[in-house]
Chain A
Amino acid sequence: MSQKKQMEEYMKQVEAFVEEVKKSTGLPIVPDQRTGAALWFDQRELSIRYTISVERIRKFFEGLAEGKVYATKCKHCGATYFPPQADCPKCRRGDMEWIEITGEGELLTYTIIYTKPASFAHYPDYTVGIARFPQGVNVLAWVRETDPKKLRVGMKVRLEVVRRQPENYLTYELVPVDEQG
């Protein structure tokens, strides 16, 4: 059972229990499972989903649709930014060009996430790594390998745009180069 299913099952049981208790006592107060302390089960649920402004780096997302991952480079001082920035704080100008991150990167570090956040609980265990690319930028992304024996610091990886499932949106991954043969 996925971590998400386990969580949902657990919450369903708790909610059903609270409903039973409310029927008999009129109050959403249940004993803490571990300590027996009285807990008020919140009757107001808060669910939040943000809208995040990406207008000024829209080109980055257009790049993903073309299978490219872009960084920004300041036309004035040459500073390179990934994640891409629309502004260069060094020379206080906003005159940037888009450069593609290509070639083989070197894996600087990685971890495999076993205990997942609630909103990632529906995925199998995943590897997060950081790789340095020839363009002089570091990219943090999932690595397409979850066996710790097949991962090592210094291994070569390349960037690939993928469609993340089950949400079905474009993002990018680090792919070990050896795996491609």
Chain B
Amino acid sequence: MGRRVAIVGVGHSKYGYRNDVSLAELAWESIKQALNDAGIGQEDIDYVVYGNVGVWSSEPLPAVVINEYAGLTPRGTVRVEAACATGSAAIKLGHDIVASGEADIVLVVGVEKMNESPTPTVVELIGRAGNYFWEFENFGLTFPGYYALYATAYMARYGATEEDLCKVAVKNHYYASMNPKAHFPRQITLEQCMQSRYIAWPLKLFDCSPITDGSAAVILASEEIARKLTDTPVWIKAIGTASDTSNISRRPDFLLRRGVMEAARMAYKKAGIDPENPARYLDAAEVHDAFTIAEILTYEELGFAKPGEGYKLIREGQTYIGGLIPVNVSGGLKAKGHPLGATGVGMAVELTKQLRGEADKGRQVPVKNGMAVANNVGGTGHYAYVMIYSLQP
């Protein structure tokens, strides 16, 4: 069971093409905000966890470089990797360290500077992140390609269309337009999405999240410390985590990812959420829409829709504020951006602000239940994390 753990401070850089800052400067933007938000100093931090995938950026040991820049040396530190779910893996490690009693205050930083390499190199490095030898070496899959395999199978079985996919992009850009931290803070039309070029058939440019630089930070504290530091701690109520085959060809089905479903089952169980009707318990969801099809699959995997009916939720506008459950009102990975190591931490920052009632004008969800869910998926479902954040411990 362990001790209860709360988020007591958050920070979030502007996501985007951030060639104006170095990796350490980018991380510092969110570390500084998080320290100020929690009202503590570097000396209060017991341990620091960095989520960073790297390779595209030049520093091979980013944890120590950033620790030094941010005045955190000689605090113990580690760098965590779980592909696109790296940020959530970092939060899980930070959470477990506090829950175990090993530390009282842990700083978790997600940071990624993908634009230190040219785009074709980044496409190459992400593409290699499936099962390298059997998928990439001979067949050159890309990440849009992997998700296109899901989209083709989904459309063929359930009759969803390319327009349905584009509707996810339109929604997420709509909310990103109200988020000054977003990579693309602007709206798009359905026509713009439909007319964009194919990246990996049937996915088009506007179905895909961008190559983003960014950082996000959360400060985690034990219950005793959290209650001293803030009146509005946001509790990490539950964490579910699971995995799936590295080889996508070994999945029994391309339409529901077992890892995500298992992670959701674990998290809902720990948080006391009825898996048959989770939307009733939750005020908001931040889900892994690296590609538009992923958001639709996630509606089903998290239990917001029955298998094969996820696309109807976006057709009916049920995932806008005022619908069944608001999903990705930050703009999501699609429009807020997807700096791999930062993404899961950015979701935690977003939901903390939503639960505290501090989100930007026009995209604050009504807080009725005081509970929200984040779903962060690494690879093509390889790493799955589902976190429940709550105003009640």
Contacts and interface: CB of A to CB of B under 8 A. Distances in A.
Interface of A: 3, 7, 10-11, 32, 34-35, 37, 39, 42, 52, 82-83, 108-121, 123, 126, 128, 130, 138-142, 148, 152-154, 164, 171
Interface of A is mostly: mixed
Interface stretch (B96-104, B228-236, B246-254, B294-302): B246-254
Contacts of A115: 123, 142, 144, 199-200
Given A35-B17, A83-B247, A111-B145, A117 B199 contact: no
B143 to A, nearest CB: 10
Contacts of B137: 52
A118 B145 CA distance: 15
Interface in B120-149: 120-121, 123-124, 127-128, 131, 133-142, 144-145, 148-149
Nearest to A4: B120
A122 B127 CA distance: 16
Nearest to B150: A109
Contacts of A140: 134-135, 139, 141, 247-249
Given A37-B19, A139-B249, A109 B141 contact: no
Contacts of A126: 139-140
B20 interface: yes
B197 A114 contact: yes
Interface in B230-267: 247-250, 254
B69 interface: no
Contacts of A116: 120, 123, 140, 142
Most chain B Cβ neighbours within 10 Å, of A119, A130, A140, A171: A140
Given A83-B133, A110-B149, 9 more contacts: A34-B17, A83-B247, A109-B254, A111-B145, A114-B200, A116-B120, A117-B120, A130-B248, A140-B141
Interface residues of B, number: 44
A114 B204 CA distance: 10
24 contacts: A7-B118, A11-B118, A37-B19, A82-B249, A108-B153, A110-B149, A111-B151, A111-B200, A111-B203, A113-B140, A113-B142, A115-B142, A116-B142, A117-B120, A117-B123, A120-B140, A128-B139, A130-B149, A138-B249, A139-B249, A140-B134, A140-B141, A153-B152, A153-B156
A142 B145 CA distance: 12
A117 B197 contact: no
A3 B120 contact: yes
A24 B142 CA distance: 41
B20 A37 contact: yes
Contacts of B20: 35, 37
B153 A153 contact: yes
Nearest to A164: B138
Interface of B: 17, 19-20, 58, 118, 120-121, 123-124, 127-128, 131, 133-142, 144-145, 148-153, 156-157, 197-203, 247-250, 254
- Sort A-B residue pairs by CB-CB distance and give the 4 closest, nearest first: A111-B148, A120-B140, A153-B156, A117-B124
Contacts of A34: 17, 19
Contacts of B17: 34-35
Nearest to A6: B120
A23 B131 CA distance: 44
Given A114-B201, A152-B156, A130 B120 contact: no
B19 A109 contact: no
A34 B213 CA distance: 15
Nearest to A132: B249
A118 B118 CA distance: 10
Contact of A148 (B120, B201, B249): B201
Nearest to B152: A109
Nearest to B252: A138
Nearest to B199: A115
Nearest to A119: B124
A126 B199 CA distance: 12
Contacts of A39: 19
A42 B58 contact: yes
Nearest to A34: B17
Contacts of A118: 120-121, 123-124
A117 B142 contact: yes
B296 to A, nearest CB: 15
Nearest to B203: A111
Contacts of A119: 124, 140
A176 to B, nearest CB: 15
Contacts of B247: 83, 140
A4 to B, nearest CB: 9
Nearest to A35: B19
A139 B200 CA distance: 19
Contacts of A117: 120, 123-124, 127-128, 136, 140, 142
B149 A114 contact: no
Contacts of B148: 111
Most buried by B among A52, A110, A114, A142: A114
A109 B149 contact: yes
A52 B142 contact: no
Nearest to A120: B140
